[in-house]
Amino acid sequence: MGTQIRISECYDVQSGAVLSRYLVKDSRVVTPYKYKRLSLSAIDALGTVDDSQNEICYAQTEIGSQSITQDGDIVMKSMPPYTAFKVDKKELEGLLLSSNFFVFRLKSPALCRIFDPDYLYWVLSSPARLESCCMPGDRFKRLRAGKLEKLALEAPEIEKQRLIGRLYVLRIRQLVERQRYSQMLKGFYLEELAAMDELAAGGEKGGNGHE
């Protein structure tokens, strides 16, 4: 039988930076602090990040590493639908997080034997589990870092956590691949239809000229 574990026992939970305090507003200002900022619109419902939607920005000073994504992090939106993704690819590392995001970072590699990262990723995928972490009366239902840290979650034996986590990650990958395949087919059929329309239009012109 599992036990209850608070997220803060294994993970640091940080809100992203308040970027208005850091970013250069005058484009004429020269600064060495260049970042790629994660955009809310870059994340789809499955947690896939479209890098083309992210933005290059410049800061007046260096921004702390707690607001920059690292390998193994779990990043989540601070407002509904609380979409989360794992930083498990090189291109997802080094993204600047605004205060619209939270980052969950394992305090020590050894702690993954107590609370598996993929299992936490699965837990965070359920908005119902996160409702208690909102400020009462907040119509935007924004999450609070302090409440997330104190959130106690069911933690079964580590083998079961790993199984649940791996199956969830596999399921997400399958859905992502299915979505990409569907988009590819849609693009193919649209091209075919356009080609058929051109042929039909050419035939009509030829027919009219023949008359």
Beta strands 33-37; 95-96: pairing state: parallel
pLDDT digits (tens, 9 = 90+) for 160-188: 999 999 999 999 989 988 888 777 777 76
CATH class of 3-210: alpha beta
pLDDT digits (tens, 9 = 90+) for 84-133: 999 999 999 999 999 999 999 999 999 999 999 999 999 998 888 898 89
pLDDT at 121: 94
Report domain extents, the chain.
3-210
